[in-house]
Amino acid sequence: MGHLTYEESKSKALKIILILAAITLLEVIFALAAKGYIIEGFHLPTWLVAGVMIIMSIVKAYLIVYEFMHMKYEVPGLVKSVLLPMLLLVWAVIAFFSEGNYWKNNRDTLNKKYEEKIDTKKIIPTGYLDDTDTSLMDRM
């Protein structure tokens, strides 16, 4: 604030909320259109739909944080201390989603592995243990 008069900030708030509402409506229409609800038999690939949705959501997030929460008018130090930690999420999304994808691709193999049984009697520990101590074998 400070930079805008009362009247100016009032009309600005109205402008931003209308943009947010328009983007939201656009998102819903796009989501439905991509699945053939609006034009029969018209489909778009999931990655394209997801990409466009994510970009539109980030624009909405920007408007909320910078305009409604007044991040635009804070000093650079505060802005950086709040926004830079969010970069960690970029790593988290990539790491976890690739893990999820690995799971999907290897589901059959993994399921087979889980059903495998290990015959613990056949495992003979060497060194360290004497015959009476079976605790290690139990744990296996």
Binding-site ranges for other proteins (CB under 8 A) = 1-2, 6, 9-10, 13-14, 16-17, 20-21, 24-25, 27-28, 31-32, 35, 37, 46, 49-50, 53-54, 57, 60-61, 64-65, 68-69, 74-75, 77-78, 81-82, 85-86, 89, 92-93, 96-97, 99-101, 103-104, 107
* DSSP-assigned beta bridge partners for residue 35: 43
Report, in Å, the least distance between residue 134 CB and other proteins: 37
- Tell me the two tokens of residue 12: 């600005």
Report, in Å, the least distance between residue 109 CB and other proteins: 14
Cβ within 8 Å of residue 29, ≥6 positions away: 38
> DSSP code of 40?
T
- Tell me the two tokens of residue 20: 């947010």
Compute the distance between CA of residue 53 and CA of residue 27 in angstroms, rounded to an integer: 6
**Which CB atom, from 87 or from 118, has the smaller least distance to other proteins?**
87
